[in-house]
């Protein structure tokens, strides 16, 4: 509402999401392996979806059809990522871009730990130049490229200084509802603009955004305790 009505029209915004947002809370927090993460996601989403209104269930079915994954567990993890992180962020930029400049990024440069991937906040080690964390961080492991450090710090600094994150090496195109340009940060030598990234997923999940707070109760640590307890029974 704040953005749609132009109450923040004087603000230039740069925002983004990571490719594997939810893994922060599963792979790092609970130290779940990939199979445990998929089980958690299946249970969380599986328990929540039946409470969608009948007329809204078609959107979830459409999401499953267009999802970039086709494996059970990964589909549900992506749904959590979209509903809780990326889609609300894009909705904010869609509305704000009618009044001011907006920039969007998608961080897919993963950790060297396959069970973590590009988790929520994976980019912060680069933004704040936390090289001292090094390989001790489960978020990034050995994937701590100097090229990405330098590029990210220059772009974030440029945005803070003049409202435009582009550098002499990277052109970061503005985002708008009509031209949804996203800077994909995929790794050394792979920073690129893409328009309409995962657009079909966005269109499928956007009508469900009103369920954000309701669904949140299903994406909580409660299920994690059961999965952790099962480790002892299966050993």
159-175 pLDDT, tens digit each:
999 999 999 999 999 99
In whole angstroms, what is the distance from residue 125 CA to residue 144 CA?
9
Query: What's the gap between Cα 163 and its chain centre?
Result: 23
Those residues with Cβ within 8 angstroms of residue 43's Cβ, 6 or more apart along the chain or in another chain: 223
pLDDT (0 to 100) of residue 29: 57
pLDDT tops 60 at residue 135: no
pTM to 2 decimal places? 0.91
pLDDT tens, position by position, 29-66? 557 888 888 988 998 899 889 889 999 999 999 999 99
pLDDT tops 60 at residue 209: yes
pLDDT-derived band at 132 (thresholds 50, 70, 90) equals: confident
Q: Evaluate the CA torsion angle 105, 106, 110, 115 in order and state its sign.
A: positive
Has residue 7 been placed in a domain?
Answer: no
Has residue 82 been placed in a domain?
Answer: yes
Residue 165 sits at φ, ψ, to 5 deg, of -80, -5
pLDDT-derived band at 9 (thresholds 50, 70, 90) equals: very high
pLDDT (0 to 100) of residue 87: 97
Name the domain count of the chain. 1
Please report, for residues 28, 33, 118, the alpha-carbon distance to residue 114 in angstroms, rounded to integers and kept in the order given.
11, 9, 9
Strand order across the beta sheet in which 190-195 lies: 13-18, 102-107, 181-187, 190-195
Structure tokens at 116: 């973590």
Has residue 8 been placed in a domain?
Answer: no
The residues that bridge with 16 in the sheet, in sequence order, are 105
pLDDT tops 80 at residue 215: no
Question: What CATH number is attached to the domain comprising 22?
Answer: 3.40.50.1820
pLDDT tops 70 at residue 71: yes
pLDDT (0 to 100) of residue 108: 96
The residues that bridge with 104 in the sheet, in sequence order, are 15
- Domain residues for 99? 14-228
Candidates 148, 155, 193, 189; CA nearest to 173 is 193
Has residue 3 been placed in a domain?
Answer: no
In whole angstroms, what is the distance from residue 133 CA to residue 105 CA?
23
pLDDT (0 to 100) of residue 206: 96
Has residue 164 been placed in a domain?
Answer: yes
Has residue 24 been placed in a domain?
Answer: yes
Query: What's the gap between Cα 44 and its chain centre?
Result: 18
């Amino acid at each position: 509402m704040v953005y749609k009505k132009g109450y923040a029209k004087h603000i230039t915004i740069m925002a983004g999401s990571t490719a594997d947002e939810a893994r922060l809370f599963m792979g790092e927090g609970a130290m779940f392996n990939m199979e445990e993460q998929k089980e958690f996601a299946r249970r969380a989403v599986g328990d929540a979806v039946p409470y969608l209104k009948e007329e809204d269930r078609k959107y979830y079915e459409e999401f499953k059809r267009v999802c970039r994954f086709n494996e059970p567990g990964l589909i549900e993890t992506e749904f959590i990522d979209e509903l809780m992180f990326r889609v609300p962020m894009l909705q904010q930029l869609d509305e704000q871009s009618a009044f001011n400049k907006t920039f969007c990024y998608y961080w897919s440069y993963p950790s060297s730990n396959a069970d973590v991937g590009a988790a929520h906040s994976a980019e912060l080690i680069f933004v704040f130049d936390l090289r001292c964390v090094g390989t001790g961080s489960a978020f990034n492991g050995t994937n701590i490229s100097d090229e990405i450090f330098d590029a990210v710090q220059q772009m974030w600094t440029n945005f803070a200084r003049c409202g435009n994150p582009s550098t002499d090496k990277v052109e970061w195109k503005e985002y708008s509802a009509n031209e949804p340009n996203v800077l994909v940060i995929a790794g050394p030598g792979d920073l690129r603009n893409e328009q309409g990234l995962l657009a079909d997923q966005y269109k499928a999940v956007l009508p469900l955004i009103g369920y954000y707070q309701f669904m949140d109760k299903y994406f909580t640590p409660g299920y994690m305790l059961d999965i952790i307890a099962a480790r002892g029974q299966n050993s």
